[in-house]
């Protein structure tokens, strides 16, 4: 027997992405689970893996896909049963372990979370790792600041996967959201997700020239890192906070101590890959309940494709602007 999967092959220094028929996995070893994948999603890390980025994936041929949701079809774990509906994100999935852009995955049982009541595979993969990351950012801000309703909160990289879900979720929670994006053509989408206002990165021009500027935001979700984060810190109100989760604009930040010792600003780091299963389950449960996004938000946020369309769509992640979320139906 075989199943469909995306495979990346290295050929004389270049990388070919194609849909193949892949041989079935062997019977799960002790502690392993096999999942029939119903939905996956596309993330920037998947595109890097498919392009041969050795910081993401070392060995080829390989199946990318850091997200998967579906039904358990084989298990050697006492706490995971055949027939369970599950979510798998993070850890090594889609990096050096064959990932979710396939009709089946076989992974350690410790990576598997049971689908919370009120959420299905399609909704879960509309969110994926991007949604989990956005949720963790919002949770960090809530833990630091309490109720977010009415607060002025900025989101950088707002048209991307994490940023767009952060805009939708913060709006859902009553925050006054400023969506910061260099993609002006996406401002109508961001407004429909709930942004109060949309701004270009020119917003940071004054902050780039000064040690501190007049505060504009109570808090922020930063998906970019680098210079945008450096400038954003100067714009946060006293006792405010910034949840930092990305590095698309660079891994280094330059900052004086002024935001921290003159205004008491907190910089909150967010990891969505190696956190505990219990922490992941907590965030997924919120998306199934009080954080459940509206159908209108989903209609503006989400694009769905079939597995056969994945190679072309992965290439677009690295060459043109891909906005919102892309869900893959298997």
Instruction: List pLDDT tens digits, range 206-234.
Output: 888 888 989 999 999 999 999 999 999 99
Show which of 219, 247, 269 is a domain's final residue: 269
Q: Are 172 and 293 in contact (CB under 8 A)?
A: yes
Query: What is residue 248's predicted lDDT score, i.e. its pLDDT?
Result: 84
In this structure, are 156 and 110 located in the same domain? no
Query: What is residue 1's predicted lDDT score, i.e. its pLDDT?
Result: 77
In this structure, are 188 and 217 located in the same domain? yes
In the chain, the N- to C-terminal Cα span, in Å, equals 17
Both tokens assigned to 239: 């006792």
Q: Is residue 213 part of a domain?
A: yes
Query: What is residue 89's predicted lDDT score, i.e. its pLDDT?
Result: 96
Q: Is residue 293 part of a domain?
A: no
Q: Which domain holds residue 322?
A: 2-115+299-329
Q: What does the pLDDT look like over 272-321, one tens digit per residue?
A: 988 999 999 999 999 999 999 988 899 999 999 999 999 999 988 887 66
Query: What is residue 207's predicted lDDT score, i.e. its pLDDT?
Result: 81
φ/ψ of 42, rounded to 5, equals -110, 140
Query: What is residue 22's predicted lDDT score, i.e. its pLDDT?
Result: 94
By CB atoms closer than 10 A (0-12, 13-18, 19+), residue 61 is: middle
Q: Kind of pairing, strands 67-75 and 197-199?
A: unpaired
Q: Is the peptide bond before 168 cis (omega within 30 degrees of 0)?
A: no
Query: What is residue 70's predicted lDDT score, i.e. its pLDDT?
Result: 98
φ/ψ of 317, rounded to 5, equals -60, -30
Radius of gyration of the chain (CA): 20
Q: Is residue 122 part of a domain?
A: no
CA gap 34, 104 in Å, rounded:
7
Both tokens assigned to 219: 């808090």
Q: Is residue 285 part of a domain?
A: no
Q: Hey, which residues does 267 pair with through a beta bridge?
A: 242
Mean pLDDT by 10 residues, the chain (330 residues): 94 92 92 97 94 92 97 95 97 96 97 96 97 98 97 96 96 97 94 96 86 94 94 96 92 92 97 91 97 91 96 86 91
Q: What is the pTM of this model?
A: 0.95
In this structure, are 82 and 159 located in the same domain? no
- CATH at residue 149: 3.40.50.720
Query: What is residue 209's predicted lDDT score, i.e. its pLDDT?
Result: 85
Q: Buried b vs exposed e over 263-297: b needs ≥16 C-beta within 10 Å? A: bebbbbebebeebeeeebeebbbbbbeebebeeeb
- CATH at residue 309: 3.90.180.10
DSSP states of 87-133 as a string? EEESTTBTTTB--SSBSEEEEEGGGEEEPPTT--HHHHHHHHHHHHH
């Amino acid at each position: 027997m075989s199943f469909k999967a995306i495979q990346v092959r290295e050929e004389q220094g270049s990388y070919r992405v194609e849909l193949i028929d892949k041989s079935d996995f062997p019977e799960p070893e002790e502690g392993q689970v096999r999942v029939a994948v119903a939905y996956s999603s596309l993330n920037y890390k998947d595109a890097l893996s498919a392009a041969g980025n050795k910081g993401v994936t070392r060995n080829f041929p390989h199946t990318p896909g850091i997200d998967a949701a579906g039904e358990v079809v084989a298990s050697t774990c006492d706490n995971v049963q055949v027939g369970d509906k599950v979510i798998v994100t993070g850890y090594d999935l889609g990096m050096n372990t064959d990932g979710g852009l396939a009709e089946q995955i076989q992974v350690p049982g410790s990576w598997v979370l049971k689908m919370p009541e009120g959420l299905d595979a399609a909704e879960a993969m509309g969110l994926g790792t991007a949604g989990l990351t956005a949720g963790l950012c919002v949770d960090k801000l809530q833990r630091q600041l309490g109720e977010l309703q009415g607060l002025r909160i900025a989101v950088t990289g707002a048209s991307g996967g994490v940023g767009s879900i952060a805009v939708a979720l913060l709006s859902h929670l009553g925050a006054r959201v400023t969506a910061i994006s260099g993609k002006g053509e996406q401002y109508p989408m961001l407004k429909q997700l709930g942004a109060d206002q949309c701004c270009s990165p020119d917003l940071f021009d004054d902050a780039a020239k000064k040690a501190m500027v007049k505060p504009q935001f109570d808090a922020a979700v930063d998906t970019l890192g680098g210079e945008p984060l450096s400038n954003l810190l100067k714009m946060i109100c006293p006792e405010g906070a910034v949840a930092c989760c990305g590095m698309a604009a660079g891994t280094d930040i330059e900052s004086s101590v002024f935001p921290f010792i003159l205004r008491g600003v907190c910089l909150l780091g967010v990891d969505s890959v190696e956190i505990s299963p219990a922490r992941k389950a907590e965030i997924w449960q919120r998306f199934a309940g009080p954080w459940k996004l509206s159908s209108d938000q989903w209609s503006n946020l989400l694009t769905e494709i079939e597995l056969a369309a994945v190679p072309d769509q992965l290439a677009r992640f690295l060459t043109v602007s891909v906005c919102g979320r892309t869900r893959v139906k298997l």
